[in-house]
Amino acid sequence: MTASLPMDSIAPLRHFVTEMTQLIDQSQEESFLRPKAKALLRELISTDQWLPEFCTVPHPQYYQQFLLHADPLERFSVISFVWGPGQATPIHDHMVWGLIGILRGSEKVQRYQRDQNGSLKPIGEEETLLPGDIDDVSPATRDIHLVKNAFTDKTSIGIHVYGGNIGGVQRHVYDPSTGAIKNFVSGYSSTQIPNIWDRSAQIRAQLG
Ligand code: FE2
């Protein structure tokens, strides 16, 4: 236990995982899950001391994707996405639905659409997301975007939820000038995941 954190500080993440698992047992339909998952994510990102320190560390060169939880049946995953100053993704898609909640700092998002001859066109203006904001992606409607840290001098962190084990999904990056597609699989930035299942503090407190 870290002295500066309250006992069972990971409880909000465990609550999110438990609630999401119960929802996804009812249905894997995006239209059913999205609004409910969004409400749970809003609650999760309303505080941030639950996020373990090792899932907050930026890399000097690459944005980091720390797996917080993967459903055992790979029906959903939760990620801590850590941006170093000035870091950006290529233009990419997801192939599963996703929710992007901002925990710390700020992200800028530009959406794209691929037309019939394969060229990419920006949709709308670049949007700025602030702590508490939640953006979404969906293969059914809008799945292609470029995301970057809004700050060139500090870290930003997003908590992402996807309708699959996102680190193992075959996805695509797009060349902005030609629209040419390349396959990619993101993987994860660490072999560690947080332990959300140590209930000993809670149980000891009940024992008195
Ligand atoms: Fe993305």
Question: Is pTM, for the whole model, over 0.75?
Answer: yes
Please report the pLDDT score of residue 115 as a whole number.
85
Tell me how far the alpha carbon of residue 114 lies from the centroid of ligand 1, in angstroms: 16
Please report the pLDDT score of residue 179 as a whole number.
86
Tell me how far the alpha carbon of residue 93 lies from the centroid of ligand 1, in angstroms: 6
- Report the amino acid identity of residue 129: L
Please report the pLDDT score of residue 6 as a whole number.
57
Please report the pLDDT score of residue 118 as a whole number.
83
Tell me how far the alpha carbon of residue 198 lies from the centroid of ligand 1, in angstroms: 32
Tell me how far the alpha carbon of residue 6 lies from the centroid of ligand 1, in angstroms: 33
Tell me how far the alpha carbon of residue 90 lies from the centroid of ligand 1, in angstroms: 9
Please report the pLDDT score of residue 201 as a whole number.
82
Tell me how far the alpha carbon of residue 78 lies from the centroid of ligand 1, in angstroms: 13
Secondary structure E strands in 71-176: 77-83, 91-92, 98-104, 107-114, 120-129, 134-137, 144-149, 156-162, 171-174
Task: Please choose, from the candidates 96, 75, 109, 177, the residue with its C-alpha nearest in 3D space to the C-alpha of residue 141.
Answer: 96
How close are the terminal C-alpha atoms of the chain, in Å? Answer: 19
Please report the pLDDT score of residue 204 as a whole number.
86
Tell me how far the alpha carbon of residue 138 lies from the centroid of ligand 1, in angstroms: 10
Query: Residues 158, 152: contact at Cβ < 8 Å?
Result: no
The alpha-carbon radius of gyration of the chain (Å, integer) is 18
- Interatomic CA distance for residues 103 and 136, integer angstroms: 15
Please report the pLDDT score of residue 200 as a whole number.
87
Please report the pLDDT score of residue 125 as a whole number.
96
Please report the pLDDT score of residue 137 as a whole number.
96
Tell me how far the alpha carbon of residue 44 lies from the centroid of ligand 1, in angstroms: 20
Query: Phi and psi at residue 46, in whole multiples of 5°?
Result: -75, -15
Mean pLDDT, consecutive 10-residue segments, the chain of 208 residues? 62 97 97 96 96 97 98 98 98 97 98 88 96 96 95 98 97 92 96 93 83
Please report the pLDDT score of residue 208 as a whole number.
76
